[in-house]
Homo-oligomer: A and B are copies of this chain.
Amino acid sequence: MPHHKSSYTARAASFKNPTASRLLKLMDEKQTNLSIAADVTTKAELLKLADVLGPYICVFKTHIDIVTDFDQDLIKQLEALAQKHNFLIFEDRKFADIGNTVKHQYSQGVYHIASWSDITNAHPLPGEGIIKGLKEVGLPLSRGLLLLAEMSSAGSLAKGAYSEEAVRMARRNRDFVIGFIGQRRLSVPLDAGQEQEDDFLYLTPGVSMAQPGDSLGQQYRSPEQVILESECDVIIVGRGIYGAADPVAKATEYREAGWAAYQKRLGVSQ
A residues apposed to B, CB below 8 Å: 39, 41, 63-68, 70, 92, 94, 96-101, 103-105, 108-111, 123-130, 132-133, 151-158, 162, 165, 214, 216-218
Q: Report B-chain residues with C-beta under 8 Å of the C-beta of A133.
A: 216
Most B-side CB within 10 Å, residue of A97, A98, A130: A98
A151 touches B127 (CB 8 A): yes
Number of copies: 2
Closest chain-B Cβ to A95's Cβ sits at a distance in Å of: 8
A157 touches B96 (CB 8 A): no
Closest chain-B Cβ to A93's Cβ sits at a distance in Å of: 9
A109 and B70 alpha carbons, distance in the complex (Å): 7
B109 touches A67 (CB 8 A): yes
CB-based closest 5 A-B pairs: A129-B217, A99-B216, A127-B155, A66-B104, A96-B96
A104 touches B153 (CB 8 A): no
SS class, residues of chain A in contact with chain B: loop
Known: A100-B218, A125-B156; 15 extra A-B contacts, CB below 8 A, are: A41-B104, A41-B108, A66-B104, A66-B105, A92-B97, A98-B216, A98-B218, A100-B216, A126-B151, A126-B153, A126-B155, A126-B217, A127-B155, A129-B218, A133-B216
A217 and B169 alpha carbons, distance in the complex (Å): 14
B129 touches A65 (CB 8 A): no
B162 touches A157 (CB 8 A): yes
A104 and B162 alpha carbons, distance in the complex (Å): 27
Within 8 Å by CB of A110, from B108, B110, B124, B127, lies B110
Closest chain-B Cβ to A227's Cβ sits at a distance in Å of: 22
B151 touches A104 (CB 8 A): no
Q: Report B-chain residues with C-beta under 8 Å of the C-beta of A111.
A: 65
Q: Report B-chain residues with C-beta under 8 Å of the C-beta of A153.
A: 98-99, 126-127, 129-130
List 26 A–B pairs whose Cβ atoms lie within 8 Å, in order of A's numbering: A39-B104, A65-B110, A66-B105, A68-B108, A70-B110, A92-B97, A96-B125, A98-B216, A99-B214, A99-B218, A100-B218, A110-B110, A123-B123, A125-B125, A125-B157, A126-B155, A126-B156, A126-B158, A126-B217, A127-B155, A127-B156, A127-B217, A128-B217, A129-B154, A129-B218, A157-B165
Closest chain-B Cβ to A21's Cβ sits at a distance in Å of: 28
